[in-house]
Structure 1
Amino acid sequence: MSALNPPSGATRASLFDQLKARAMLLGLFVGSMWVTFLVSVAIPFLHLNRHGVVPRTLGGLQGVLFAPWLHASFLHIMSNTPGLIVLGWLCMWPRIANFWQATAGGMLGAGLCAWLLGSPYTIHIGASGVVFGYAGYLVAYGFYSRKFIPMLIALFVACSYGVSMLFGVLPLTPGVSWQSHLGGAIGGIMAGRLFYQNPPKRL
């Protein structure tokens, strides 16, 4: 039998393996944020949220890495979870490497922008910057690739999240880190552009 025409059963198994790998990765990623939140609630004296981004302080730079895992309340993490799951899943195709690029772009962009533009003596926490990064990545990749499926996904993201994203990057709501949202979106767009220029060869 030709290697170019694998049995349909093998094709289904391969697709199942891909879906399973992506679902497990996304579950572990989002699940780790929930575990961190539950630990912060159960053991409040750890004061985990102090490890968020503190603008223009040397120690506050640690939040670039840690802030997405820190949330102020149950409502806070609940509001971020759907975007992490839906947009994170879309970022995993065609390769898992896409997801890591989008995540890195969103985290770095959100953290650095909050560190540079945030008000003094504030702490910026939460994964919303990563969500904005995913949205920016998907829109940018669709725009630069000019391929049908990525463009369709970009249109879906723009229609479904566009209005909330637009208002999210503006300083309209007290207590909401618009700096993280803006930086995350910019970081995601830059990552999408980078992926288009240098697509990864493997997963």
Structure 2
Amino acid sequence: MTSADPRTNPDNFCYRHPDRQSFVLCQRCLRTICPACQTPLPVGVICPECLAEQQKGARSAEVKRMPGRFARKLRSDRPVVTYAIVIVTIAVYLLQLIPVVGGTITSALAFAPGYVVPGSGAPFEPWRMLTVAFVHSTPLPFHVALNMLALWALGRSLEPSLGKVRFLALYVLSAIGGSALVALIAPGSAVVGASGAVWGLLTSMIIIGRHLGVNILPIAILLGINLVFSFVGSGVSWQSHIGGGLVGLLVGYIFSKTRAQKRQGLQAALLVAVGVGLVAVTVIVPGLLYL
């Protein structure tokens, strides 16, 4: 039972400053608060603890309402996978320039269809379908410079939107797709470079950009210009460009149709199926040429 004298009633003193008398209550917790602890609201005042709780709840609700791609960006928007691929690729290129080991590195990582066709006479090394993206033609740096510039520009937009794992899957599958088309329609060639993987990023940006409401016209123009140079440039493997681009379209379509959280398992299964299918087609179809 409280005292009748307001000067001795503890309920008439601020709960945070017991020496300060007050007759104002927090609108949420109904505890007494002095002027120094009061934050005015449209319907009264609130104490510091209730204000902090209210602000925390508002931030949590805002994050939950945000689309998945922006929530991911809020957590981490630094494209570390993009930077890692660029660093590794440039490091490999610098090693290629060393006279003693450069040729060995190039021959160990470059791709030729014979490496994925059993019975072709070459050792069976299917991993070259991916490692080809880390070696480039030497000694002129234009090949690796253009690819890494494109990767850096595209990765800074795509990776925060897709997430690190999805972006890496897109890059890997696109690189394999470029090698697959080389094996299917140019079985006598040997290729190096990340062009197939970069083209996969470029074409997937068209699909993903459409679903995000982004203006894809500049991307389409860049793709068209790059396509022309792929066919008219000397020594350029247009097969790897087209192969990577087609896989990028497919993977971008898979991402756009399986964005919901409940469909993430289906998304992973489809990506695995694409990778297995690419390797299987590359091994089986060219193998018929050696029968």
Question: Shorter-chain-normalised TM-score: which range?
Answer: 0.7 to 0.9
Aligned partners of 1:18, 1:76: CA distance in 2, in Å? 31
Find the counterpart in structure 2 of residue 25 from structure 1.
Answer: 81
Instruction: Tell which structure's C-alpha radius of gyration is larger.
Output: 2
Compared with structure 1, are the counterparts of its residues 109 and 4 closer, same or farther at alpha carbon in structure 2 (3 Å cutoff)?
farther
What is residue 259 of structure 2 aligned with on the other side? 199
Give aligned pairs, total.
187
Inter-CA distance 15–188: structure 2 relative to 1 (3 Å threshold): closer
Deviation (angstroms), 1:64: 0.8
In the alignment, is the contact (CA less than 8 A) between 1:70 and 1:125 conserved in 2? yes
- Which has the larger helix fraction? 1
- Residue of structure 1 equivalent to 2:282: none
Contact 2:81 2:168 (8 Å CA) reproduced: no
Per-residue CA deviation, residues 160-201 of structure 1 (Å, 9 max, x unaligned), is x1332321453x333111010000100100100111122274
Out of 12, 27, 39, the position equivalent to 2:95 is: 39
- Indicate yes or no: 2:171 matched with 1:103: yes
Counterpart residue number, 2:132:
67
Report the 3-state secondary structure (helix = DSSP H, G, I; strand = E; otherwise coil) of the residue aligned with 2:244: helix
Tell me which amino acid in the other structure corresponds to 2:220. A
- Cα 1:4/1:124, change in 2 over 3 Å: farther
Q: Is the 8 A contact 2:106 2:135 kept in 1?
A: yes
TM-score (norm 2): 0.57
Which of 220, 232, 236 lines up with 1:158 in the alignment? 220
Residue type matched to 2:217 in 1? L
Measure how far apart 1:133 and its partner are: 0.6
* Conserved 8 A contact 2:130-2:172: no
Structure 1: 4+ residue segments shifted above 4 A:
14-17
Match of 2:160 in 1: 93
The residue type paired with residue 31 of structure 1 is I
Q: CA deviation at 1:15?
A: 5.9
Task: State how far apart, in whole Å, the 1-side matches of 2:126 and 2:234 are.
Answer: 23
RMSD: 2.6
* Higher RCO structure, 1 or 2 (CA under 8 Å, sep 6+): 1
Runs of 5+ unmatched residues, structure 1: 8-13
Identity among equivalent positions (%) equals: 19
TM-score of the aligned structures, taking structure 1 as reference length? 0.79
Alignment partner of 1:186 is 2:246? yes
**Are 2:112 and 1:54 aligned?**
yes
Counterpart residue identity of residue 5, structure 1: A
Give the superposition deviation at 1:27.
Answer: 1.4
Question: How far apart, in 1, do the equivalents of 2:260 and 2:101 lie?
Answer: 42
Letter of the structure 2 residue corresponding to residue 148 of structure 1: G
Structure 2: state its 5+ residue gaps.
1-53, 61-71, 117-123, 265-291
Other structure's SS at 2:126 match = helix
- Give deviations 1:87-108, integer Å, cap 9, x for gaps: 1222113231441232133112
